[in-house]
Structure 1
Amino acid sequence: MPVAVLVVWTLCAMGWGVVLAGLRRGVRGPARGPSLFAHAATPAGVVLLCSLIGFGSLYAVIALTAEWWALALVTRLRPERLLVTGGLGRLAAWAVLTAAATLTGCHLIL
């Protein structure tokens, strides 16, 4: 297995853990349970979706890695800020950073 793929998987797992820690620390009230469940189900859902449509999961893993690290950077490790206090500016910054990181990751790895 190429080293770049292992690095992407490691960064993906670390990004998932960073966002999980932020969700556990920051989200309170009735939204806590569903947000933690959705975050925990995301990796399995992505792998199942990719296998169902017959598409390799490396592209999806690169995109997930970019999304989670962009979310951590834009919200300063507090994911609830994306919707609570961020407004459209923070959401746009997250989308732009995710797209740039995904394109860069795809060009570097593939």
Structure 2
Amino acid sequence: MTLTTLGVLAVCGWLLAGLGLRRGLAEAARTPALTAHALTPFGALLVSAVLGFGALFTLIAMTAQWWALLLVTLGRPHRLVDPSRPGPLRPVLWLITTGVLAHGLAAAVV
């Protein structure tokens, strides 16, 4: 897999997660959620730059977590913390899926 492919996967995952947040949240919660979502890539890259890590593994981790979020919540990211379904099942599945996808992406890219 090339870096261009990884970048396209990252952008597509980020856009799909943003669309899911825009579609699924009420107006009062939508603006802060979309603002935080829009700032996430810049914040992650800034932290990795300050700590001295390269952007490759940050990009791999972000791509994995966005696609894992879409897979676990079936395209509706607000379901991850849905108060009508208490319990840690979805967050745990998200964590496991993110780890598996990050491992696979790292093996494919590096």
Could you say which residue in structure 1 is the equivalent of 2:109? 109
CA apart distance, 1:30 = 2.7
Give the ranges of 4+ consecutive aligned residues of structure 1 lying more than 2 Å apart after TM superposition: none
Q: Unaligned 5+ residue runs, structure 2?
A: none
Post-superposition Cα deviations, 1:11-32, rounded to whole Å, max 9, x if no partner, equal: 0000000000000000114322
Q: How many residues align?
A: 108
Could you say which residue in structure 2 is the equivalent of 1:58? 56
Identity percentage of aligned residues: 39
Could you say which residue in structure 2 is the equivalent of 1:83? 81
Counterpart check, 1:47 vs 2:45: yes
Could you say which residue in structure 1 is the equivalent of 2:7? 9
Post-superposition Cα deviations, 1:38-90, rounded to whole Å, max 9, x if no partner, equal: 10001111111121111101101101001000100110110000101453111
Distance 1:47 1:92 in 2: 25
* TM-score normalised according to structure 2 size: 0.92
Q: Over the residues paired in the alignment, what is the CA RMSD in angstroms?
A: 1.3
Counterpart check, 1:21 vs 2:10: no
* TM-score normalised according to structure 1 size: 0.92
Could you say which residue in structure 1 is the equivalent of 2:34? 36
Distance 1:88 1:103 in 2: 23
Distance 2:43 2:91 in 1: 23
Q: Unaligned 5+ residue runs, structure 1?
A: none
